[in-house]
């Protein structure tokens, strides 16, 4: 009898099946995920999700007999009062459990399939076909660190990189090719010789064998077991290492004109961006800069929850960002993203300064700069463009790395986010 402890076996044996299942149900799951995400808060989104999807394409059909009609006989246990010949009125809709597996009409939800998506799967599907714009090119051009990667074999190297399998394979083929006598054969011959020596039976054969043995011995000395030509080492190549860290600047106007609702919209957008960056980079730093007529780097709580009064001068925030980049986040080592949320107000004298700052100092450094203009839920702002919007519009070029969108209600956040990052040529399903 064997007892085997399988508990330490790698878990997730059914992972491949799960991936196949998710791929199969992709369209349905995607729809369900998108629908679900509209009404939920961002922190929930990151927490995995119970989804239910329609059964289309997930059925496993087989031929089986219908549950209705025909002549049937059932044997049931637990008879109490029936005697042979009794009759029982048929239940009207086959609902009152007479043992038959009648499908009880449980309403429309019957056909849905429920299961739980993990957080990663949820985000994968949710953020699918979103891409960080123009990333790879800049990364590799600027990367300075290297990682070793396996690249074939070499005949020189340090002993720690010795490749035993290759070496022994070469050695074996050389030994076969040069007909080096095998140690088994030599041992056998030696034993034979010793036998003959002891018995002294056949001196002629003995001398013959001795000669043969001597020949084999010299040959095996001449053809070494392992020759320097056999030896192989693992070879490593130095590959440039892409920058895998990013910093995300959150800029927000906190002057009196920003309502709670606007801040909420902004927060949602920031968090989505954070989740997204987190999946693309190993390490993501966040810098919060809030501004009124002056800008300050603050922590997250202060950023979202403390109020401040004052005017609105956007360029202060941009200057602060520029200062922080210079001080802490060298563009060679960091991918820089910025998201700015504002209601669009700015002191008119500041517009030109802001535009110049953005265009000449910040955009060249940043991978991407997103400007989100948040508006009041019910305010009709059709046709009227805000100061900041007009300012930024001049700077924004098609194909550039400045993107601008307006958001008024919560449900617009996800579509706008997807729109900003959707992969080129792919129309996001909204």
Partner 1 sequence: MPSSDAPSLLFDGADWDFDKVRRVHDSIEEIATTEMGLSTYPNQIEVITAEQMLDAYSSIGMPLMYKHWSFGKHFAADESMYRKGMRGLAYEIVINSSPCISYIMEENTMAMQTLVIAHAAFGHNHFFKNNGLFRQWTDAKGILDYMDFAKGYIMRAEERHGHAAVERVLDGAHALMNNGVHKYPRKKVPDLAADLQRERERQAYFEQTYNDLWRTLPKSPEGVHESRELADRKARLGLPEENLLYFLEKTAPKLAPWQREILRIVRHIAQYFYPQRQTKVMNEGCATMCHYHICHRLHQKGMISDGALLEILHSHTNVVFQPAFDDPRYSGLNPYALGFAMMEDIKRIALTPTAEDRDWFPDIAGCNDPWGALRAAWADYRDESFILQYLSPSVMRKMRLFRLHDEEQAKEIKVAAIHNERGYRDVRQTLARSYDIGRMAPDIQIVDVDLEGDRRLVVQHRVADGILLDEAEAVRTLRQLANLWGYEVRLIEVSAETDVVFKQHEDVGPSE
Is residue 77 a contact point for partner 1 (CB under 8 A)? Answer: yes
Among 43, 66, 144, 309, binds partner 1 (CB under 8 A): 66
How deeply is 237 buried, as exposed, middle or buried, from its count of CB atoms within 10 A (0-12, 13-18, 19+)? exposed
Distances (CA, A) of 110 to 53, 59, 100: 11, 13, 18
Is residue 221 a contact point for partner 1 (CB under 8 A)? Answer: no
Is residue 158 a contact point for partner 1 (CB under 8 A)? Answer: no
Candidate segments 2-10, 199-207, 299-307, 370-378, binder of partner 1 by CB under 8 A: 2-10
Candidate segments 88-96, 234-242, 311-319, 395-403, binder of partner 1 by CB under 8 A: 88-96
Q: How far is the CB of 21 from partner 1 (least distance, A)?
A: 3
Q: How far is the CB of 35 from partner 1 (least distance, A)?
A: 19
Distances (CA, A) of 25 to 57, 58, 73, 119, 124: 7, 7, 40, 17, 14
Q: Which residues of 80-112 are buried (b: 16+ CB within 10 A; e: fewer)?
A: eeeeeeeeeeeeeebeeeeeeeeeeeeeeeeee
Q: How far is the CB of 92 from partner 1 (least distance, A)?
A: 11
Q: How far is the CB of 265 from partner 1 (least distance, A)?
A: 34
Is residue 63 a contact point for partner 1 (CB under 8 A)? Answer: yes
The residue among 150, 208, 204, 216 whose CA lies nearest residue 178 is 216
Contact assessment for residue 329 and residue 297, using Cβ atoms and an 8 Å cutoff: no
The residue among 24, 21, 29, 15 whose CA lies nearest residue 125 is 29
Q: How far is the CB of 53 from partner 1 (least distance, A)?
A: 10
Among 41, 82, 110, 182, binds partner 1 (CB under 8 A): 82
| 9-12-18 Cα angle (round to 5) | 155
Is residue 59 a contact point for partner 1 (CB under 8 A)? Answer: yes
Distance CA 311, CA 347 (A): 8
Among 43, 50, 141, 222, binds partner 1 (CB under 8 A): 50
Candidate segments 73-81, 157-165, 342-350, 366-374, binder of partner 1 by CB under 8 A: 73-81
Among 27, 38, 67, 381, binds partner 1 (CB under 8 A): 67
Of the pair 78, 399, the CB lying nearest partner 1 is at: 78
Q: Which residue has the tokens 């520029």?
A: 322
Convert residues 20-39 into a mask of x (bound to partner 1 by CB under 8 A) and - (unbound): xxxxx---------------
For 162, which DSSP code? B
Contact assessment for residue 403 and residue 393, using Cβ atoms and an 8 Å cutoff: no
For 111, which DSSP code? G
Is residue 93 a contact point for partner 1 (CB under 8 A)? Answer: no
Of the pair 74, 384, the CB lying nearest partner 1 is at: 74
Distances (CA, A) of 416 to 97, 270, 322, 370, 424: 52, 12, 27, 11, 15
Among 43, 84, 228, 378, binds partner 1 (CB under 8 A): 84
Q: How far is the CB of 109 from partner 1 (least distance, A)?
A: 14
Of the pair 96, 237, the CB lying nearest partner 1 is at: 96
Among 39, 43, 76, 136, binds partner 1 (CB under 8 A): 76
Q: How far is the CB of 296 from partner 1 (least distance, A)?
A: 46
Contact assessment for residue 288 and residue 248, using Cβ atoms and an 8 Å cutoff: no
Contact assessment for residue 47 and residue 37, using Cβ atoms and an 8 Å cutoff: no
Q: How far is the CB of 110 from partner 1 (least distance, A)?
A: 13
Candidate segments 8-16, 177-185, 207-215, 217-225, binder of partner 1 by CB under 8 A: 8-16
For 326, which DSSP code? H
Distance CA 44, CA 422 (A): 22
How deeply is 410 buried, as exposed, middle or buried, from its count of CB atoms within 10 A (0-12, 13-18, 19+)? middle
Is residue 348 a contact point for partner 1 (CB under 8 A)? Answer: no
Q: How far is the CB of 77 from partner 1 (least distance, A)?
A: 5
CA–chain centroid gap for 71, Å, is 56
Among 36, 40, 45, 99, binds partner 1 (CB under 8 A): 99
Ranges within 108-137 binding partner 1 (CB under 8 A)? 113-116
For 359, which DSSP code? I
Report how many residues bind partner 1 under the rule CB under 8 A. 61
N-term to C-term CA, the chain: 59
Is residue 54 a contact point for partner 1 (CB under 8 A)? Answer: no
Is residue 176 a contact point for partner 1 (CB under 8 A)? Answer: no
The residue among 246, 427, 409 whose CA lies nearest residue 339 is 246
- Residues engaged in binding partner 1 (CB under 8 A): 1-7, 9, 11, 13-14, 16-24, 50, 58-67, 69-80, 82-90, 97-101, 113-116
């Amino acid at each position: 009898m064997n007892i085997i402890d399988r508990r330490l076996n790698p878990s997730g044996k059914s992972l491949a099946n799960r991936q196949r299942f998710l791929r199969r149900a992709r369209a349905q799951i995607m729809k369900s995920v998108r629908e679900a995400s509209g009404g939920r808060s961002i922190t929930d989104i990151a927490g995995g999700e119970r989804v239910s999807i329609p059964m289309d394409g997930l059925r496993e059909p087989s031929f089986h007999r219908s549950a209705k009609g025909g002549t049937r006989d059932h044997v049931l246990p637990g008879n109490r009062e029936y005697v042979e010949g009794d009759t029982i009125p048929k239940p009207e809709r086959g609902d009152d459990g007479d043992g038959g597996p009648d499908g009880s009409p449980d309403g429309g939800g019957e056909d849905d399939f429920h299961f739980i998506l993990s957080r990663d799967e949820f985000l994968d599907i949710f953020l699918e076909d979103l891409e960080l714009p123009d990333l790879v090119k800049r990364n590799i051009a600027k990367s300075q660190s290297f990682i070793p990667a396996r690249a074939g074999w070499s005949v020189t190297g340090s002993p720690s990189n010795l490749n035993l399998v290759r070496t022994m394979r070469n050695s074996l083929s050389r030994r076969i090719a040069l007909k080096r006598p095998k140690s088994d054969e030599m041992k056998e011959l030696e034993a034979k010789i010793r036998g003959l020596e002891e018995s002294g039976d056949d001196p002629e054969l003995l001398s013959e064998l001795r000669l043969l043995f001597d020949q084999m011995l010299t040959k095996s000395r001449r053809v070494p077991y392992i020759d320097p030509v056999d030896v192989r080492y693992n070879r490593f190549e130095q590959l440039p290492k892409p920058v895998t860290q990013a910093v995300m600047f959150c800029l927000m106007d906190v002057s009196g004109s920003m309502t709670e609702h606007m801040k909420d919209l902004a927060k949602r957008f920031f968090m989505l961006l954070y989740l997204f960056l987190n999946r693309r980079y190993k390490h993501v730093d966040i810098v919060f800069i809030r501004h009124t007529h002056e800008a300050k780097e603050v922590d997250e709580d202060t950023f979202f929850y403390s109020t401040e009064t004052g005017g609105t001068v956007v360029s202060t925030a941009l200057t602060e960002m520029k200062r922080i980049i210079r001080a802490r986040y060298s563009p060679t080592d960091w991918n820089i993203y910025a998201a700015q949320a504002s209601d669009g107000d700015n002191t008119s004298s500041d517009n030109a300064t802001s535009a110049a700052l953005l265009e000449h100092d910040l955009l060249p450094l940043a991978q991407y700069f997103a400007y989100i203009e948040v508006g009041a839920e019910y305010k009709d702002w059709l046709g009227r463009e805000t100061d900041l919007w007009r300012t930024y519009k001049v700077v924004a070029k098609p194909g550039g790395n400045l993107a601008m969108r307006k958001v008024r209600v919560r449900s617009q956040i996800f579509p706008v986010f997807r729109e900003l990052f959707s992969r080129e040529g792919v129309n996001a399903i909204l």
